[in-house]
Structure 1
């Protein structure tokens, strides 16, 4: 695996062979960080959380691009040790921490983050539960990245959680999306679907039923 951008661009990172370990592809990482650069600009002042870190690819990309702080959470001891070794080799410096812990237990005492990566083993219930728990630790203008099998989270789930899908894409059997709090400035940058655009145009074209006095 290689880091796509930033100070560590093109640096190879060893990935252990482990059942269920599925590093986010270079293509997806490049797309997602292009989105974030467009939405928030520099990552320099951001606090980042990489839950279910695995190889740590997403958090490594954020750190490479200058994120102020990055926390990786991985309960598998071997994977966590491998990530620590990678950070030591890269001379990552302060503000880069690997936690060998269960993601949900970690969140019980976590602080606030501007960007959270949620990429658990592919089970729909786990994605939803993780996003719900992350909300208590998300900055007002923060973003949540979610990676899922086949399909993004259902719209009714996002509505219930008070979230807006800002960007989404797919690559093979993987669906990925960026979410923001409804009503936030970041949410206002959401790209509307064709159906949403059509409905908005229809609403604007409809007569108000009122006449000028």
Structure 2
């Protein structure tokens, strides 16, 4: 795995191989990540530049790291798995990032936010376990989300918009679905 574009283009990320099903690690492939970020670069949902990222069920952190490479100003990575935490910390160190932090927590039990509000959320829960809506509820209740924040929810099927979120789009690539949601009212960027 590597960073596809931006300031850290070509930098290799910590190796996870084909993933770790026991730890629910199934990294978004370089190709799929590139496709997703091409959709974001088209500007239909706002801009990456200046965004504050919340990466829930972050795994390797590749999505949030790619966003930082492409102009996001800060990223908070949330994962409670030991394997994922090690990978995220290794990747932050590899890229020498000072604008990233790891929150070693269950994404469905977030504490109150003490930082900037997220304008871009990556949500990649273990497939089929109904954790995504719970994590979004925790993020909303904990004051993590800016009004109009864009949420990109990766699952194996399209997901319905939870209360407080508006469905914007849905895209399917093979066995992966991206559901695009907007939090609350108005644009975040």
TM category, shorter: 0.7 to 0.9
**C-alpha distance in structure 1 between counterparts of 2:111 and 2:179, whole Å:** 24
Query: In structure 2, the residue corresponding to 1:49 is in which secondary structure?
Result: strand
Structure 2 counterpart of 1:27, from 26, 31, 35: 31
Which residue of 2 is the match for residue 119 of structure 1? Answer: 124
Please list every run of 5 or more consecutive structure 1 residues that lacks an aligned counterpart in the other structure. Answer: 187-213
**C-alpha distance in structure 1 between counterparts of 2:95 and 2:134, whole Å:** 33
Please list every run of 5 or more consecutive structure 2 residues that lacks an aligned counterpart in the other structure. Answer: none
**C-alpha distance in structure 2 between counterparts of 1:140 and 1:182, whole Å:** 5
Alignment check: 8 A CA contact 1:72 1:98 kept = yes
After superposition, give the CA deviation of every residue in 1:122-174 in whole Å (9 maximum; x if it has no partner): 1251122222333342211211110111x2113xxx2x513222232112211
Query: In structure 2, the residue corresponding to 1:3 is in which secondary structure?
Result: coil
- RMSD, matched Cα: 2.0
Mark the structure with the bigger radius of gyration. Answer: 1
1:71 aligned to 2:73?
no
Q: 1:78 to 1:185 in 2, by over 3 A?
A: closer
5 Å-filtered alignment, 1:129-208, equals 129-136=134-141, 137-149=144-156, 151-154=157-160, 158=161, 161-181=163-183, 183-185=185-187
Q: 1:103 to 1:171 in 2, by over 3 A?
A: same
Whose helix proportion is higher, 1 or 2? Answer: 1
Query: Could you say which structure has the greater relative contact order, defined with CA pairs below 8 angstroms and 6 or more residues apart?
Result: 2
Point out 4+ residue stretches in structure 1 off by more than 4 angstroms: none
**C-alpha distance in structure 2 between counterparts of 1:87 and 1:108, whole Å:** 22
Which residue of 2 is the match for residue 57 of structure 1? Answer: 62
TM-score normalised to structure 1 length? 0.75
Residue 96 of structure 1, CA deviation: 0.8
Residue 5 of structure 1, CA deviation: 1.5
